[in-house]
Amino acid sequence: MKEKRTKIKEVLSSDLIGQKLMVMGWVRTKRESKSVAFIALNDGSTIHNLQVVANAESFEESTLKKITTGASLGVFGEIVPSQGAGQAFELQAESIEVYGEADPDKYPLQPKRHSLEFLREIAHLRPRTNTFSAIMRVRHSLAFAIHQFFNEKGFSYINTPIITSSDAEGAGETFHVTNFDLDQVPKTEDGQVDYKQDFFEKEANLTVSGQLEGELAAMALSEIYTFGPTFRAENSNTTRHLAEFWMIEPEMAFYDLQDNMNLAEEMLKYLVQYALDHCADDLQFLDKRAADEEKNKPQNERNELSLIERLRFVLENEFERVSYTEAIEILKRSKPNQKKKFQYLIEEWGADLQSEHERYLVEKHFKKPVILYNYPKDIKAFYMRQNDDGKTVGAMDILFPGIGEIIGGSQREERLDNLITRMKEMDIPVEEMQWYLDTRRYGAVPHSGYGLGFERMILFVTGMGNIRDVIPFPRTPGNCEF
């Protein structure tokens, strides 16, 4: 009869001394003397390993030889008090089944610290490291917490299309979706690509945002959110941009800009609290890891707070709410601007803020998360609600330490005439967007929403420095491996 498996997390968190049970997992390390082998076994349920003790006399030498770093085992035995330091109890093996060997001369993961760059090249194996398994568990927990947060508030989860024919941001950073044989693309008489012959009989692309469709749903269900993949062909090789990333986009009828900010701040704090409550072991590991990384940074770039302190800090402080206009004044007067240390100097009102400016505001000036609102209309999307001053729109971006922008949102322009005028000014094809404009024609209401980049949130919570390390298989320019 096959023994029922017990997960290592359960073994380590209970008092099972004297009990016999079955564990299954992967070997992290093996230490061996003539008479006994100590095997650190991990099954991904927790960052911690279970120590398995195998007496040489009880096992074939050939079996013990197969047990190397990376091999997979099922071990049946008794939980006994541990003789050694480092753990209170261990599993005394009675039988071991080696499911799969891992040739020690070839297996790329050795029991030592590998560089993140190296691990990115073997992204198919990196979840087997402590760092990446911790990140993936945190990622899972945050995804679950997002659904729980919105569910508790009565929001409906909506799936918006991944293939669309609209470019929500109007930024033209879309990936095309086509069924054409690219060597023989059909052309019209005047030499244009003939999309009428393509699969959808029109130009199609991968979505950059689910917002526009989300707005349609909010006009019926009042409060909705999307949580799905988005795609941007932006050629920005930064530590905060992916070509494929996941976005959470709530959209709420009857919310103004203040309501929008309140919800966003509450949500971010809820997620941080959830991680502290449910990922304590992983966060402790990542905290220590981040502290080690800090030592390699120059003194003036080091964080004053540890990772866990930074998470607590976000919980305990109100986010600073500052208008764009105030922010520009602060930036103009700032030391790095006066001393021309910014790469992009802030000369006048209307300038788009770069991440160096966002981070100055958050990390140096306010020293806490900042919500910037009322941006110039010319640096924001067409759908944002126009303010009475004729110059600004009801946008709000949330800026986080070490990250910069983590959320971008706005109150939406619900007045049909204003919206159409703005679309024309910005060359948005009004005719093709009639379905969107119908929300303003029939039963329009004030409404708001925002987008949270899921990976940027995970960056913040895990203290990692590069967005490529918080998604299992990163897509960036020139990189579509696995």
Chain residues binding ligand ATP by CB under 6 A are 169, 232, 234, 241-242, 245, 247, 405-408, 451, 453, 455-456
For the bound state, the minimum distance from the C-beta of residue 446 to ligand ATP, rounded and expressed in Å, comes to: 20
CB 78 within 8 A of CB 20: yes
Q: 70 or 453: whose CB is closer to ligand ATP?
A: 453
**What is the 3-class SS of 112-177, one letter each residue?**
CCCCHHHHHHCCCCHHHCHHHHHHHHHHHHHHHHHHHHHHHCCCEECCCCCEECCCCCCCCCCCEC
For the bound state, the minimum distance from the C-beta of residue 232 to ligand ATP, rounded and expressed in Å, comes to: 5
- Rounded to whole angstroms, the Cα distance separating 433 from 436 reads 5
Q: 251 or 455: whose CB is closer to ligand ATP?
A: 455
For the bound state, the minimum distance from the C-beta of residue 306 to ligand ATP, rounded and expressed in Å, comes to: 24
Helices first, then strands: H and E counts in the chain:
14, 15
For the bound state, the minimum distance from the C-beta of residue 2 to ligand ATP, rounded and expressed in Å, comes to: 44
Q: 219 or 398: whose CB is closer to ligand ATP?
A: 398
Give kind and range of the element (H or E) at residue 306.
none
Q: 49 or 164: whose CB is closer to ligand ATP?
A: 164
For the bound state, the minimum distance from the C-beta of residue 163 to ligand ATP, rounded and expressed in Å, comes to: 19
Alpha helices (H) along 31-121: 61-66, 116-121
Q: 71 or 145: whose CB is closer to ligand ATP?
A: 145
Q: How many residues does the chain have?
A: 482
For the bound state, the minimum distance from the C-beta of residue 237 to ligand ATP, rounded and expressed in Å, comes to: 11
Cβ partners under 8 Å of residue 160, min gap 6: 207, 210, 213, 214, 226, 228
- Rounded to whole angstroms, the Cα distance separating 123 from 285 reads 20
Q: 128 or 359: whose CB is closer to ligand ATP?
A: 359
- Rounded to whole angstroms, the Cα distance separating 453 from 397 reads 12
Beta-sheet pairing, 392-400 with 370-376? antiparallel
